[in-house]
Amino acid sequence: MAAFGTEFTPDMVCCEFRDGTWSAPTVTPVKPVALHPASHVLHYASECFEGLKAYKTASGSIHLFRPDKHVARMQHSAAKLLVPVPDATALMRSLHMAVDAAKDHIPDYPGALYLRPTLFGVEENIGAAARPPGAARYIVLASPVGDYFAGGLKPLRLKVDDEAMRSTPVLGEVKTGGNYAAAMQHLARARQEVNADQVLFAPGGIVQETGAANFILVDGKELLTKPLDGSILAGVTRDSILTLARDAGFTVTERDFDVNELIERAPGGEAMLTGTAAVLTPVGTLIYKGQEISVGDGNMGPVSTLLRKTLCAIQSGEAEDPHGWRVPLSM
């Protein structure tokens, strides 16, 4: 299977906002998007996106995983950026349309169909730096993805950076390209300098998240993670894992904690990254101020293993779905 995110199904879903109204979403063949060079997004980054998955179960039924959370987050991102956005019903419909159009291209579990709804400002006006775009476009691309861990589940090396910011306090909870642009230089340096896989951003010493995943520390029966205070993305996988942890009798603590506490507790515990693409990835090593700190024994621990297995069984359709997270494809 091609590398994650490099292969696309033949069709996409599109709609457009002009003169104050959204057109109805339609399915069209994937083709280049024609943009006027003065388009708002190219100059003022009026853009946000989502990432979610649809799965095919062993019996052949198809469901989307928690699409309502992604629709709500897309609307929230658009509201913060002042980009016009389709209403929740139209967004939900666009996701079902995209999955339906791609239903013959959904790989068997643990593969999935990854959906990438994207919204961007297309008003042709380079003078509109200080106001929102009056025209916008919305596209849903679909990408068949394989098992993220086909090569084996390797615990990650995280550089803990107590200075760099991946975003701003206001835009941290917004899924917009600018956040990834801001994080990139720090990640490139961490890769080059200490052979890290990811950077754990901890500006001012407060542990936040990595460039594309939330961070959770496990110590005994407690899961500790930063609260949703606007500075980090409200990850859907984060919410799923915390919910399943509570169900399994763990204590979930959402509060700020600093690098000192992390470094003190990690050697006796576990740490994980959560996100749609990889679901749950264990962290094996923290690198802080040039020192390497092993998380537990450096391998994936029992709590991470249990929570990953529990969530995957719900996503695959193998287990009951006590929280109603599987939404059957309906057209």
Ligand X SMILES: Cc1ncc(COP(=O)(O)O)c(C=O)c1O
Q: Which residues bind ligand X (CB under 6 A)?
A: 51, 209, 212-214, 233, 235-238, 274-276
> Cβ closer to ligand X: 15 or 171?
171
For residue 84, which of 29, 116, 37, 131 has the smallest C-alpha distance? Answer: 131
Write down the least CB distance from residue 282 to ligand X, Å.
Answer: 16
Give the separation between CA 185 and CA 52, rounded to whole angstroms.
26
Give the separation between CA 146 and CA 330, rounded to whole angstroms.
24
> Cβ closer to ligand X: 51 or 284?
51
> Cβ closer to ligand X: 94 or 274?
274
> Cβ closer to ligand X: 149 or 289?
149
For residue 88, which of 50, 123, 120, 44 has the smallest C-alpha distance? Answer: 50
Write down the least CB distance from residue 209 to ligand X, Å.
Answer: 5
Contacts 24+ apart (CB under 8 A), 67-75: 67/92, 67/95, 67/327, 68/92, 68/327, 69/236, 69/239, 70/95, 70/117, 70/236, 71/95, 73/175, 73/234, 73/236, 74/48, 74/49, 74/50, 74/117, 74/119, 74/175
Write down the least CB distance from residue 214 to ligand X, Å.
Answer: 5
Reading the block at residue 43, the tokens are 């100059």
Write down the least CB distance from residue 275 to ligand X, Å.
Answer: 4
> Cβ closer to ligand X: 115 or 303?
115
Pair 48, 98: CB distance under 8 Å = no
Write down the least CB distance from residue 127 to ligand X, Å.
Answer: 32
> Cβ closer to ligand X: 125 or 237?
237
> Cβ closer to ligand X: 83 or 236?
236
Write down the least CB distance from residue 142 to ligand X, Å.
Answer: 16
Pair 233, 275: CB distance under 8 Å = no
Cross-strand partners of 326: 65
> What 3-state class would DSSP assign to 280?
strand
Write down the least CB distance from residue 187 to ligand X, Å.
Answer: 12
Reading the block at residue 71, the tokens are 């629709």
